[in-house]
Amino acid sequence: MNNYLIVAGIIFCIGALGVLMRKNLIIVFMSLELMFNAANLGFVAVSNRLNLISGDIFVIFVMVVAAAEAAVALGIIVAFYREKGTVDMDKANELKN
Amino acid sequence: MDFKTTITWLIPLFPLAGWLLWGLFGRYLKGFSGYLASAFIGISFILSVILFFIVAYSHGFTDTLYPWVHAGTLKVGVSAVIDRLSVIMLVMVTGVSTLVHIYSIGYMQDDKGFSRYFSFLNLFVFSMIMLVISNNVLLLYVFWEAVGFCSYILIGFWYEKKSASDAGKKAFIVNRVGDFGFATGIFLLFMTTKTLNYEKIFAMVPTMPTLTVTVIALLLFAGAVGKSAQFPLHVWLPDAMEGPTPVSALIHAATMVTAGVYMIARFHVLFSYSPTASEVVLIVGTFTAFFAAFIALTQYDIKRIVAYSTVSQLGYMFMAVGIGSYTAGMFHLISHAIFKGLLFLTAGSVMHGLSGELDLRKMGGLYSKMKTTAITFIVGGLALSGIPPFSGFFSKDAILADVYNKGYYFAWAVGEVAALMTAFYIFRLIFLAFFAESKIDKGLHVHESPKIMTIPMIIMAVLASTIGFLGIPPLNHSVFYKFLHVDFQNAKNFAPIVNSMPWYVLSSISVAAGLIGIYIAYLLYIKKAIDPEKIKNMFKPVYELSYNKVYIDEIYDFLIVKPMLVFFGFLWKVVDIKIIDGAVNGIAGAFGNFSVKARKIQNGMLMSYILTLSIGVAAVLFYYFIR
Amino acid sequence: MEALFYIFAFIAIFSALMVISMKNPLTSALYLVLCFFALAGFYVLLDMQFLAVMQILVYAGAIMVLVVLVIMLLNISRLNAVKTDFHQKIIGIIIAIVLFGEIVIYTVNGMTKKPTGIFTHSVINKIGNTQVIGNFLFTKYTLSFEIASILLFVAIIGAYLFAKKKL
Amino acid sequence: MHNIMPAIYGLNSLEKSMLSIIPEAVVILFAFIVLFLTFFEKIAKSKNSYYLSLIGIAFSILYVVMLSGRNLTGFYGSVVFNGYDVFLFIAILLSGFLTVLVSKDYIENFDLPYPEFYSIILFGISAMMFLVASNNLIMVFISLEFMSICSYILTGYIRGNARSTEAALKYLILGTFASAFLIFGSVFIYAAVGHLNLNSIHTYLENISYGNNGSASILSGMGEYLSIGLLLFMVGLAFKMSLFPFHAWTPDAYDGAPTPITSFMATGIKIAAFAVFLRIYVLIYNINVINFNDILWVLAVLSMTFGNIAAILSANVKRLLAYSSIAQAGYILIGIIGGGFYGYSGTLFYLFTYIFMTAGAFAVVIIFENSDIASLDIKNLSGIAYKYPFISAAMALFMLSLAGIPVTGGFMGKFYVFSAAVKSGYYWLVFIALLNSAFAAYYYIKIIVKMYMPVKEDSNVSCIAGEGKNYGIVNGNISEGIILAVIICLFFTLIMGVYPQIFINFANYSAASLASL
Amino acid sequence: MAFFMKYILTILIFFPTVAVLILLPINKKNEGLLRNVATLLSLIEFIASCYLFRYFKPDTYKFQFIEKFNWIQSFGASYFLGIDGISLFLILLTTLLTFVSLLSSYRYIKDHVKEFVILMLLLETFMLGTFAALDVLLFYVFWEFMLIPMYFIIGMWGTGKRIYSAVKFFLYTLAGSLIMLFGIIYIFIIHYQQTGNFTFNLIRLYNTNIPVNLQILLFIALFLGFAIKVPIFPFHTWLPDAHTEAPTAGSVILAGVLLKFGIYGFFRFAIPLLPDAALILAPYIVVIGVIGILYGAFVSIVQKDLKRLVAFSSVSHMGFIMVGLFAFTAISINGAVYQLLNHGVDTGALFLFVGMIYERMHTRQIKDLGGIAKKAPILTVLFLTSVLASVGLPGLNGFIGEFLILIGSFRSYPVLTIIATSGIIFAAVYLLWMFQRVMFQDPHDQIAPYDHHLEFFDDMNLREIITVLPLIILMFLMGFYPAPFLDRIDPSVLHFLTMLNHHKIFYNAIKIKTGLSNA
């Protein structure tokens, strides 16, 4: 049982690592999706272990949110790309201090 | 209020009213303010005389006008003590003041600050009267300072002159140094006795420990040293001559400077219970008597000579009160007030005649041109030199005789030497100014002063010649002694008479000293038997010392004023601005620096934001792990 | 079952690693799809076939298509100019490892909690997991469901607002 | 109204459920109505959407007031409606109301598509209300995300503006990142307690910690799961509350967003986040599973210190206010740490004052932005007080309120939370907070200095000599709406400083129903 | 009338605020009207405040004109006003000085007259409130908001580094106040823990028993707040800047009223609330006070800016007051309170004169000034009077305060008092030297860039004379006839000491200090 959580943890951390070290916004976005999915896996595993369903329901909502967020995020990334001509997050540096 | 208390309070009221009137409406009164002011003081004088007779033929009394300061246990009223001591002072103060006021009308005639002058002069008289009649230490201190203030304002009367305003300021500040001691004395007095009322204090003095009494007495004496220009706080008095001459006559000769002596006489109980303190008074007095006379020997400024003479004579008075001869001190105070007032008035007359010239080296042969002035001056000089039958002879002699008879031989000897020097310097002045060949600028129209000035001078000269007879018969049998001694009965007789040298022996010695002094002056300046220059060169260091006033001013400047200014500058520029304010601004600046650093976290890079967040998460988790 | 778990785990972790290490976002996207499939496999193992299907439909089918579309649209793969500097990598790796370490330390004891629910393997299989989820979703979580629908609606407006060139 | 009331008690559970979400439903309804205005070109161009939004919010407030005093639980415990919600609904709705009021000028100025704008604001408001009302983790998550997505959209709303897009991007990436932690935390909470419903979790934990005296053995094993779960969950919320070090988005997003939205984020989102955190804190964190106050203590200190220090040198008004909001979050957290009825009431009171002073400050910023100011650089405010006397006076008062000077609500709020913390023995925390307020005053004052005390060097504004034609309140093209917003804020800021008792009573009522859970 | 007397304090406090409302509709351009109306209203306020004096019962220490309404029940805070002998005079001083400073600003304030008069009146409200409040929270509200109008006055109408000074003034005092607030909250909570009641009622808080160690910490907290306001060395550095750069009216109020709050705070709050700590710390505070006396005097001597000199003299004077207060004898506290009033009158007047000189000469540098006495005799005489009052010349008010302080403190701290007494020498040095250089002698500078202004130096006009006349009259009145003042102050002071006397340490401290058993 714990194995699932460990895998979830690993994927979560890989996702975090992706967010931390990649600068390509698309890849960062995908890393975030990885993190969400890790959480999903955890929910399903826990809910299975506890013989409950609510965790699975949570997963569905996470998926919905991920979809919604994907729409908005990609919209913003596209808008950003239009302005800067790149998806490098370091180019987002007008606002500082 | 009965008759005598009414009179008592009317005496200070007139000068007070005068002050306000001339001060506020002087500009409309023009020249009249002088006459009116003199009349006001004259009324005060007449009232004082009435009071004098009331007290002389009945007894003293005290009266409270209104409660003044009531705070906690401190209860002080505006109250007066009228006894023989104070009435004598009152008569003297108001009398001399009246004469000086009248004299001033002439002297200050063309001054544009005429009304202002009389206003402040009246204020001074008021303060002096109050000082004399006050019945508690606080009130005494108040008017002690008030007379100091009047002195300040009148010395600096011609404020446009830097030297004048400097002198005024110096007088005030040096007096404050003395007052510092005086105030501390009052604090200690109040702490020990829980009261500031004379009678209550004096009643407690015998029960107080001697050490306390000594300390209090010495602290009070510090005030007297300042006010009466004793060494080492004498420096202000010669400079005070920057003021109008009548002011010098009234304040810096007759009245204010003698307040120190009066104070000790008033506190005779306290001082007599502390032989140590009295001895200090004696030593300071003696030293000052000699020291000031020594400086006066070589000065050329006539007013300064007279001023140093005042310092010296005050030294004599302190000698007297220092050995417990309060009546002798008071007697010299009165006679000195008259003859020194006279000297100043005549000096003022000389100045007036010479359009403000004060330097002896630019005078000479004035006798023929201003006879009245010259004669009255000589009367004053004789009185000062202690030549019979002028008043100085009786009063100074009474002191010296007491000093000798009470066994203070050294002091006596110094006093005699000082007497010799006194006679010399005053006659040096007289000879150089009135009899030596004229060195006056040809263009200068030398003239005798108007009547309004000479009449007061003549009156004073007459008084100076006659008042001494109050001192007959000599010593403890004199009229004056008998009259005043009543008030000093509570004093402890700490210095009993050990010799009974006959008075005529001592008197002869004094007179001889005076005459020798006069003769030397005669030899030097009239006969020209000895060239003064030669002597000057012979005793070059001594001469220089005397001429430069023993460098006291310079020493003060070098040792106190300059280092203090440097120190204060350091305090301000370094301690205040750099350290204290620097710390304040430094803290502010530090926050600015922090801000620069903190804002670096917010560098606009999304990556670093993510990093911050993740570190935060890791740290939060870590904290609970190590917990 | 154990074997399947390890196979899926390996695929999931491997593809996740590839997602974050590929230079070309398109490759990353494909690896991500692979990862999602592996996760779907886990869900099947955990008796949640419905979720497995959803996973593939929503994630692999919808979201990833969108991502790929955007990648194609922006032609990012060709530009490929986005570089990561060394420091950042190191710090990122350190933090990720620390984070992982912490998660492991917190969870090392294993889950001690005993099952509390009634939806055991057999119960779910008897009712059918879709029905179970449906029952819950439309009773207990109706409100959430409704909000989710509005959320999606708002997201559409948002995407539309961002993406269109000129209003 | 009176006739309806008694009937409610006879309603069945679905109707009760519906009742419990009426305020949210009204807002959502109006959001849709406003949105549908876009279908009709003519209507869409008019001001209808603006007024409709205001009406919608007003209706919602009306419903909240009508429902107040009721204790409702709806949708199988997904949402609750009680005194706590009444207070916070009103707070959120007011913040939304103010946002809408101040938006009109701005939208016209920047030529933004407005029905959508208002609609999304309304959706955001409803999301916040759901967030406050939510009573299980799913609801918390979904409404939090709903709120976030609305705010992402609004932040990036000025299309073609690089700053706006950048702000949205940063906000979105960081927000999603933080959400991931929040969900992952929920996994562990779920694993530890097996419930998603907050009340159930609360009951479960309470049974463990108080029911069995030797709770340690039962807690062990579960304790770590719960700890990590709660910590990660807290990260997600702390992000929304913009506590250091989860604050990073705040200055940039506030800076880049359209100013009304900045105001909305600073007030609405912050309140909602604090409200939900407070609820979860009371229900879960406060049960002594582990001592969370330690970490909150550190976060509070770091937040206020960082916020204040960073704000000192900020040259841009919006940015300055953003940093200030980080610091304010630190202060608000003090109330939660202080805890107890007194502390919770203080927190709520502070939140309430915080709305008005912040919204007011932003309203003034919008006025400045709409008028002749080139940028929001503080330098450009030089001497502006002589051109807009009333507005500047109001701004000065808001600044003073934020700085915590008496006679303003800010002081009372600070006083309230600080005394709560002292009451619980957090002396150092309060001491540090007070020192913070001391040097924080510097940057608030800096704005006043620029407005009122121009120096020649940095004035490109001709106001110094005092053109002095504007004595009145309304000047030129400033709409009444925004002035109304300023007046509302001014009124509340002052009244809460002068006679706060009514609001304290309200907060007490709210806190009482919070603690009674 | 009955209504007026019943709510006189409230009416007095909020009348200026009402006055502000009266002023608001007046057109900004109509400066003359604004000034006149504001001045008139402040005069009315002053006259109204005289009723307090008229109906004040002098024989009791009890608070009078009490008004009490619920304010914030949750904190136990109430709108609780009342005055005793000390607040009475401080209130009178405040109303008088507000009137005086409004009248004084006719020539100095040229821009933004409307804002100025509004701020002055607003300031008056808060100053009066602070003096009348008997509820700690109410007091704090008034106390801290008072900073704001003053800050504006310095920053908007100041000279030179006005903004730096204003901000420094504000932040410095604010920092102190906030630390003080910490102490207040702490005491409030301790009282709650002891009694279970929230209350800010000062009289009830007096009865809080706080452990001595804690008292010391809290006292330090309160001390910082009050000491910065006083200000006591070494917390004084905001003062020279603020005083120097503020407009005349601001300086007058700042020196005349605002500095009083620190001492008032000690008297009303810090010491009675934390008596043991006060008794324990008193010797150190007296030492600081004495340092302040000398330091202020020393630094004044070398000042080059006229106003800064007067400002530093305040440091010295406040040192005296601190010594008097913390000597804890009836006489010295009487003196301290009296000196508080004196300082308001004297320094207020000094600032007025400095302002008049500045208006005419456009410089405050002492080296550029001089020879004014010739041109302006009235100014000279009146200026001299206030200088002398400040020096502590007997017959004027300053003396009585200083003397009472010193004679009272001498019993508790003989050596320190002697050192403090030397301050009177230096006071004479710096003030008289300043006066000489400014008024009498010619400017030091050979070039004398301000000769032009000196040439056209006009003497005081009627308005200016009226401005300073009340102060000059007070100087004499308080010097010659202090009884009406001291009679009303004394009962409060004695009560204050009685409160302290309840603490055993007091007896011990006295015994150790004096070695006398009759304390």
Q: What DSSP string runs through B109-150?
A: TT-TTHHHHHHHHHHHHHHHHHHHHB-BHHHHHHHHHHHHHH
The last residue of a domain, from among C37, C59, C82: C82
- For E184, which residue in chain D has the nearest alpha carbon? D419
Distance from CA of C53 to the nearest CA of A (A): 11
Q: How far is CA B185 from CA A49, B220, B260, B270, B325, in A?
A: 95, 5, 14, 12, 23
Residues of D in contact with A70 (CB under 8 A): none
Residue in D142, D221, D222 closest to C148 by CB: D142
Same domain, D412 and D489: yes
Distance CA E423, CA E417 (A): 10
What is the separation of C-alpha B170 from the centre of its chain, rounded to a whole number of angstroms?
Answer: 12
d(CA E322, CA B271): 35
CB E172 within 8 A of CB E242: no
CA–CA distance, C54 with C48 (Å, rounded to integer): 10
CA distance B591 to chain C (A): 29
Tell me: the pLDDT tens digits for E236-270? Answer: 888 888 888 888 888 899 888 888 888 999 998 88
* Three-class DSSP category at B359: strand
* Whether pLDDT at D123 is above 90: yes
Q: Smallest Cβ distance to B607: which of A23, A94, A97?
A: A23
Contact call for E and A: 3+ CB–CB distances under 8 Å: no
**Residue D475 pLDDT exceeds 50:** no
Whole-number pLDDT of residue D144: 92
Q: Are strands B61-71 and B74-82 parallel, antiparallel or unpaired?
A: antiparallel
Cβ distance of B621 and C91 shorter than 8 Å: no
Taking residues D19-25, report their average pLDDT.
87
Same domain for C8 and C78?
A: yes
As given in the structure block, the two tokens for residue B388 are 């019979």
pLDDT, one tens digit per residue, over A38-95 is 999 999 988 888 888 888 889 999 999 999 999 899 888 888 888 888 888 877 788 8
For residue D127, the chain A residues in CB contact (below 8 A) are: none
Q: Do D153 and A47 touch (CB under 8 A)?
A: no
* Cβ atoms of E92 and E485 closer than 8 Å: no
Residue C126 lies in a domain: yes
Shortest Cα–Cα distance, A54 to chain C (Å): 8
Within this chain, do residues D381 and D341 fall inside the same structural domain, yes or no?
Answer: yes
Tell me the whole-structure pTM to 2 decimals.
Answer: 0.89
Contact yes or no, C with E (3+ CB pairs under 8 Å): no
Query: What's the token pair of residue B564?
Result: 């203090």
Report the pLDDT value the prediction gives residue D375, as an integer from 0 to 100.
Answer: 67
Given CB atoms, is C145 within the 8 Å cutoff of chain D?
A: no
Residue D19 and residue D125 in one domain: yes
Chain D residues contacting C via beta carbons under 8 Å: 17, 21, 28, 35, 74-79, 113, 116, 119-120, 123, 126-127, 130, 138-139, 142-143, 145-146, 149-150, 152-153, 156-157, 159, 188, 191-194, 220-222, 224-225, 227-228
Q: Least CA distance to D295: which residue of chain B?
A: B620
Residues lower than pLDDT 50 in chain E: 507, 511, 515-519
For residue C147, tell me if it sits in a domain.
Answer: yes
C55 with C128, same domain: the answer is: no
Q: Which of D401, D412, D449, D455 to mutate to test the interface with E (most CBs of E within 10 A)?
A: D449
Are C78 and C122 in a shared domain?
Answer: no
Q: What is the pLDDT of residue D471?
A: 33
Shortest Cα–Cα distance, A23 to chain D (Å): 12
Chains touching chain C, criterion 3+ CB pairs below 8 Å: A, B, D
- CB contact at 8 A, D359 and D263: yes
CA distance D171 to D173: 6
Q: Does C120 lie in the same domain as C71?
A: no
Return the closest-CA partner of residue B339 out of B371, B365, B295, B309.
B309
Say if residue C127 is in the same domain as residue C78: no
* pLDDT score recorded for residue C77: 57
Quick one: closest CA in A to B615, which residue? A20
Please confirm whether the linkage preceding D115 is cis (ω < 30° from 0). Answer: no
CA distance B602 to chain A (A): 5
The C-alpha atoms of residue E228 and residue E226 are separated, in whole angstroms, by 5
> Is B568's CB within 8 Å of E299's CB?
yes
Chains that touch B (3 or more CB pairs under 8 A): A, C, D, E
Which structural domain range is residue C8 located in? 1-82
Across the interface, whether the CB atoms of E330 and B73 are under 8 A apart is answered: yes
Please count the residue pairs, one from chain D and one from chain E, whose beta carbons lie less than 8 angstroms apart. Answer: 100
Domains contained in chain D, number: 2
Chain A residues with beta carbon closer than 8 angstroms to that of B614: 16, 20
* CA-closest candidate to residue D31, choices D164, D129, D109: D129
What confidence tier does D489 reach under pLDDT thresholds 50, 70, 90?
very high
* CATH number assigned to the domain with residue range A2-96, chosen from the 4 options 1.50.10.150, 1.20.1250.20, 3.40.50.300, 1.10.287.3510: 1.10.287.3510
Smallest Cα distance from E27 to chain B, Å: 41
Claim to verify: residue C57 and residue C4 sit in the same structural domain: yes
Q: pLDDT confidence of D374, banded at 50, 70, 90?
A: low
Which tens digits make up the pLDDT trace of E287-326? 999 999 998 888 888 888 888 888 888 888 999 999 999 9
Both C78 and C126 in a single domain? Answer: no
Considering only CB atoms, A90 lies closest to which of B605, B611, B614, namely B605
- CA dist D226 and D287 (Å) reads 12
Out of E236, E335, E394, the one facing B141 most closely (by C-beta) is E394
Which residues in chain A are closer than 8 Å to D142, comparing Cβ atoms? 61, 64-65
Tokens read off for D79: 């949402």
Alpha carbon of residue A88 to chain centroid:
18
Between B6 and C109, residue with greater pLDDT:
B6
Question: Are A92 and D145 in contact (CB < 8 Å)?
Answer: no
With tokens 């759901």, the residue in question is D130
Distance of residue D172 Cα from the nearest chain A Cα, in angstroms? 7
Please answer whether residues A87 and A29 qualify as being in contact, where contact means their C-beta atoms are separated by less than 8 angstroms: no
Q: Do D452 and E147 touch (CB under 8 A)?
A: no
Indicate whether D475 belongs to any domain. Answer: yes
Contacts of C105 in chain D (CB under 8 A): 224
B491 phi/psi in degrees, rounded to 5: -65, 145
In chain A, which residues have their Cβ closer than 8 Å to the Cβ of D173? 19, 25, 28-29, 32, 73, 89
Residue numbers in B near A19 (CB within 8 A): 610
B323: three-class secondary structure by DSSP: coil
- Closest residue in C to D188 (Cα–Cα): C107
Q: Which residues in chain B come in under a pLDDT of 70?
A: 1, 474-475, 627
Predicted confidence band of residue D91 (pLDDT cuts 50, 70, 90)? very high
Cα–Cα distance, E384 to E370 (Å, whole number): 14
What percent of chain E has a predicted confidence (pLDDT) above 90? 13
- In angstroms and rounded to an integer, the radius of gyration of the C-alpha atoms of chain E is 22
Distance CA E227, CA E262 (A): 6
- 10 Å CB burial of residue B619 (0-12, 13-18, 19+) is middle
Selected residue of B617, B621, B622, B625 to mutate for chain D interface (largest D Cβ count, 10 A): B617
pLDDT in tens, C40-56: 999 998 888 888 998 88
Residue D133 located in a structural domain: yes
Domain count, chain C: 2
Query: Are residues D131 and D147 in contact, defined by beta-carbon separation less than 8 angstroms?
Result: yes
Residues D66 and D141 in one domain: yes
In a domain, residue D79? The reply is yes
Torsion, CA D346, CA D350, CA D353, CA D358, rounded to 10: 180
Measured in degrees and rounded to the nearest 5, phi and psi for residue A24 equal: -75, 120
Residue A14 has pLDDT above 80, yes or no: yes
Span C52-65, mean pLDDT?
A: 87
Domain edges within chain A:
2-96
User: Do C78 and C2 fall within a single domain?
Assistant: yes
Distance of CA E473 to the CA centre of its chain: 19
The structure tokens listed for E459 are: 């003497």
Question: Which amino acid does the sequence have at C148?
Answer: A
**pLDDT tens readout for residues D350-373:** 999 999 999 999 998 888 877 766
Residues in A touching B601 (Cβ below 8 Å): none
Chains linked to A by 3 or more Cβ pairs within 8 Å:
B, C, D
**Same-domain check for residues D76 and D169:** yes
Interface contact flag, B568 E298, Cβ < 8 Å? yes
What ipTM was assigned to the predicted interfaces of this complex?
Answer: 0.88
Whether residue C1 is found in the same domain as residue C62: yes
Q: Round the average pLDDT of chain D to a whole number and report it.
A: 83
**Distance between CA B296 and CA B251 in Å, rounded?**
20
Exposure string of D445-467, with b = 16+ CB inside 10 Å and e = fewer, is bbbbbbbbbbeeeebebebbebe
Domain range for D65: 11-177+194-204+253-281
The DSSP string of D432-491 is HHHHHHHHHHHHHHHHHHHHHS--STT--STTTT------SS--TT--HHHHHHHHHHHH
Q: Which two tokens stand for residue B153?
A: 């304002």
Cβ atoms B217, B189 nearer than 8 A: no
User: Chain B contacts of A92, Cβ < 8 Å?
Assistant: 604, 606
C61 part of a folded domain: yes
What does the block give as tokens for A34?
């990885």
Residue B539 tokens, joined: 């005793």
Residue C148 lies in a domain: yes
CB B180 within 8 A of CB B242: no
Q: Contact B307/B237 with Cβ under 8 angstroms? A: yes
Q: Do both C78 and C136 map to the same domain?
A: no
Under the banding of pLDDT at 50, 70 and 90, the label for residue D6 is: very low
Give the N- to C-terminal CA distance of chain A in Å, as an integer.
Answer: 47
Q: What span, in angstroms and rounded, lies between the C-alpha atoms of E346 and E338?
A: 12
Residue D259: strand, helix, or coil: helix
Q: How far apart are CA C106 and CA D184, in angstroms?
A: 13
Residue D308 lies in a domain: yes
How close B622 gets to chain C, by Cα (Å)? 7
Question: What is the Cα–Cα distance from E358 to A6, expressed in whole angstroms?
Answer: 80
Indicate the residue of C105, C112, C155 with minimum beta-carbon distance to D222.
C112
Would you call C4 an interface residue with chain B, using a CB distance cutoff of 8 Å? no
